[in-house]
Amino acid sequence: MSARKKLLNPTSVAALVGSALLLFLALAGPSIWGPAADTTDVSSRLLGASAAHPFGTDELGRDILARVLTATRLTLLLTLGSTLIALAGGVVFGLVASILPKHPRRLFTGLLDILLAFPWLLMVLFFTVIWGATATGAMLAIGFAGVPSFARLVYNLASSVSGRDYVRAARVVGVGPVGILLRHVLPNIANPFFVNAAATASVTLLSFAGLSFLGLGVQAPAYDWGRMLQEGILRIYINPLAAVGPGIAIVLAGLVFTLVSEAVAGTRGAGFRAVAARAAGAVTLASRRRESVRDSAAPVGDTAAEITDLHIAFRDADGGVVERVRGVDLRIARGEIVGIVGESGSGKSLTAMALAGLLGDDAVVTTASHRFDDIDMAGALTASDRARLGVELGMVFQDPLTSLNPALTIGRQLTEVPEVHMGMRPRAARARAADALTAVGIPDAATRLTQYPHEFSGGMRQRAMIGMALTGAPRLIIADEPTTALDVTVQRQVMGVLHRAQEETGAAIVFISHDIALVSAFCDRVIVMKDGRMVETLDAERIREDAQHPYTKALIACLPDMTSDRTQPLPVIPPELVPEALDDAGPVGVRQPSGASAHDQEVPV
């Protein structure tokens, strides 16, 4: 974001205006309102709010509004003092800790953590005992009580930077710890540092108000907002504004510091931008929805699932809409194994999730038709539809470490479908779950059911996921890169389990992968996706011979085999095929005659 844009957003403007106002009051306040604030007038003591005294008067007849304005200077000076102590102490301790050797460093951070366990206010009170209940004492107490948390922050920031590659590189070429600190660490922690410094100032202001309010900070005849609050609350029945006035001043000043912190941090997409985004998103949604009603009566026959003219879009940060899947037609026959290959971002996983009807509300999905067996997935689902989907549609995801619920036992997760959708009693559901685990090759199923996912290895978790699909009566299993996160030997086991599951249940499988070799070995049919479109559909057994689209050919060419020339570098996807260079080429249909001139170019390998 440009510096100009950064200055022009509402948060920054409010922060600037607020800071300017505070600065003005601190500089000029005492000379403008000071006389009125100190003028005693016994005849007008303890008055309520009036035009002459908007906040009323105190017990000596002094104008409370004038006193609130005058008190800005002292309040801010004390806040500044405490904040500087906390920052200076935090920077020194935090940076020193970050360059200490391992053992003293751990001792030091351990000590910091112990201090941090105690609420700030308790530490302040403890220090106040030492330095006394005066303005200076309170300033020191609040400042020093803030040191541990700021030191921890600086330490965390510094050590997060010092682990990075460029700092390691500097160390390798012999830059000393101090040089690294000055040249590499400090510049890189500057932004979070200032964000937190402003936040600290906000907290300090409120703490100071609290301490003065307790009578342990500023002492009469001097006064800050906290002190005024303490005096005001005693007379809250006579004049509530005597307490509420200084209270408002404290809250507003705290808000200004918070805004400064927010502005330094950079903008969050709130306010005007969100409104703009919503307006833009709503317009696009309305225009796209109109297309989605046609061809709703497709033949059921031997189709396991079908989706036609699938478009998936997401709103982007600037309020526009990005289309990630652009018109995909997918029909899965009963018992068929279909592979979808493509690189990251080709839309293959989104297509699979849309087929299962599991995309979140942030995705804008439109289809011409979308069926699972005889269920119309585009319309509203009835309770019995949902039960059937739970039983008949199985999902296996990429990362088995995250696809099982860590807080529930494997047994709990595998008995849900039989219990909820198939009306089984717990005992029968448990037996079914144990059978499913045995079927995916996990021995001692009864014990395994009582365990949690973290007690399973990655490969076992993936098999348990397949077992979860088997606890129902699957007609279709959608496996979204089920082996990508696993190492090669485990991959083979999982593929074997998936294959057996297919043979035993006769379920169709949609298998998504970026590995064209794996897909062509396992599937009947291979679909190649790129940039949200299907570019080609191929018979798995004749994939090398039949591939027409340059992208598919390039994918195949990248596969090393026994005849690969090992003196040559490994082939890569040529750059003209990588980004959206193919947009104009368009997809190659299944039965489209080969040799369209645009696709004839030889792919250099």
Partner 1 sequence: MTTTPPPATAEVVETTTAALAARVEERRLRRGLSPRTAFLLRRLGRLVVSLAVVIIASFLLMYLVPGDPVRAALGQSATPQLVEATRTQLGLDRPMGEQFVRFIGGLLTGDLGTSVRLQRPVADVIAQRFPTTLLLAVLAFVIAVIAALPAGIGAAVLARSGRRRGLSITLSAVLGILIAVPSFLVAVALISLFAVQLGWLPAAGWGQPADAVLPVIALAIGPMAYLVRIVQVEMLAVLDTTYMTTARAKRLPRRLVYLRHALPNIVTASLTVGGLILAGLTAATVLIETVFAIPGLGTIMVSSVGAKDYPMVQGVVIVYALIVLGVNLVVDVILATIDPRSSITEG
Question: Which is it for strands 337-341 and 525-530: parallel, antiparallel or unpaired?
Answer: parallel
**Interacting residue with partner 1 among 72, 75, 79, 202 (CB under 8 A):** 202
- 3-state class of 531 per DSSP? coil
Residues 6+ apart with CB under 8 A from 301: none
363-402 binders of partner 1 (CB under 8 A): 386-387, 389-390, 393-395, 397-399, 401-402
Quick one: which segment of 21-29, 106-114, 148-156, 517-525 binds partner 1 (CB under 8 A)? 106-114
Q: What are phi and psi of 30, to 5 degrees?
A: -60, -35
Q: CB of residue 388 vs partner 1: minimum separation in angstroms?
A: 8
**Interacting residue with partner 1 among 250, 260, 312, 424 (CB under 8 A):** 250
**Interacting residue with partner 1 among 1, 173, 297, 407 (CB under 8 A):** 407
- Residue 406 engages partner 1 in binding (rule: CB under 8 A): yes
- Residue 274 engages partner 1 in binding (rule: CB under 8 A): yes
Q: CB of residue 520 vs partner 1: minimum separation in angstroms?
A: 25
CA distance 450 to 408: 9
C-beta closer to partner 1: residue 259 or 538: 259
Quick one: which segment of 112-120, 563-571, 578-586, 592-600 binds partner 1 (CB under 8 A)? 112-120
57-96 binders of partner 1 (CB under 8 A): none
C-beta closer to partner 1: residue 184 or 448: 448
Instruction: Identify residue 112 by its one-letter amino acid code.
Output: L
Q: How far is it between the farthest Cα atoms of the chain?
A: 107
554-583 binders of partner 1 (CB under 8 A): none
**Interacting residue with partner 1 among 8, 88, 129, 596 (CB under 8 A):** 129
C-beta closer to partner 1: residue 179 or 320: 320
C-beta closer to partner 1: residue 336 or 419: 419
Residues 6+ apart with CB under 8 A from 299: none
- Residue 28 engages partner 1 in binding (rule: CB under 8 A): no
Question: Residues 279, 283, 285, CA angle at the centre, nearest 5°?
Answer: 115
**Interacting residue with partner 1 among 88, 236, 276, 293 (CB under 8 A):** 236
Q: CB of residue 585 vs partner 1: minimum separation in angstroms?
A: 27
- Residue 293 engages partner 1 in binding (rule: CB under 8 A): no
Q: CB of residue 409 vs partner 1: minimum separation in angstroms?
A: 8
Q: How many chain residues interact with partner 1 (CB under 8 A)?
A: 83
Over 131-150, what HEC string results?
A: HCCCHHHHHHHHHHHHHHHH
- Residue 320 engages partner 1 in binding (rule: CB under 8 A): no
**Interacting residue with partner 1 among 421, 530, 553, 599 (CB under 8 A):** 421
- Count the alpha carbons within 13 Å of 184 in the hemisphere toward its beta carbon: 20
Q: CB of residue 237 vs partner 1: minimum separation in angstroms?
A: 6
- Residue 51 engages partner 1 in binding (rule: CB under 8 A): no
CA distance 499 to 506: 10
Question: Residues 494, 525, 460, CA angle at the centre, nearest 5°?
Answer: 10
CA distance 69 to 53: 13
- Count the alpha carbons within 13 Å of 73 in the hemisphere toward its beta carbon: 15
- Write the CA distances from 296 to 313, 325, 392, 445, integer angstroms: 22, 20, 22, 44
133-192 binders of partner 1 (CB under 8 A): 133
C-beta closer to partner 1: residue 91 or 242: 242
Pure H helices in 164-315? 165-172, 177-180, 186-213, 225-234, 241-265, 271-289
What burial letters (b/e) apply to 350-361, b meaning 16+ CB within 10 Å? bbbbbbbbebee
- DSSP bridge partners of 538: 526
- Residue 344 engages partner 1 in binding (rule: CB under 8 A): yes
- 3-state class of 584 per DSSP? coil
CA distance 385 to 569: 53
**Interacting residue with partner 1 among 24, 27, 40, 126 (CB under 8 A):** 126
Instruction: Identify residue 11 by its one-letter amino acid code.
Output: T
C-beta closer to partner 1: residue 125 or 431: 125
Quick one: which segment of 64-72, 160-168, 175-183, 417-425 binds partner 1 (CB under 8 A)? 417-425
C-beta closer to partner 1: residue 84 or 244: 244
- Residue 220 engages partner 1 in binding (rule: CB under 8 A): no
C-beta closer to partner 1: residue 131 or 194: 131
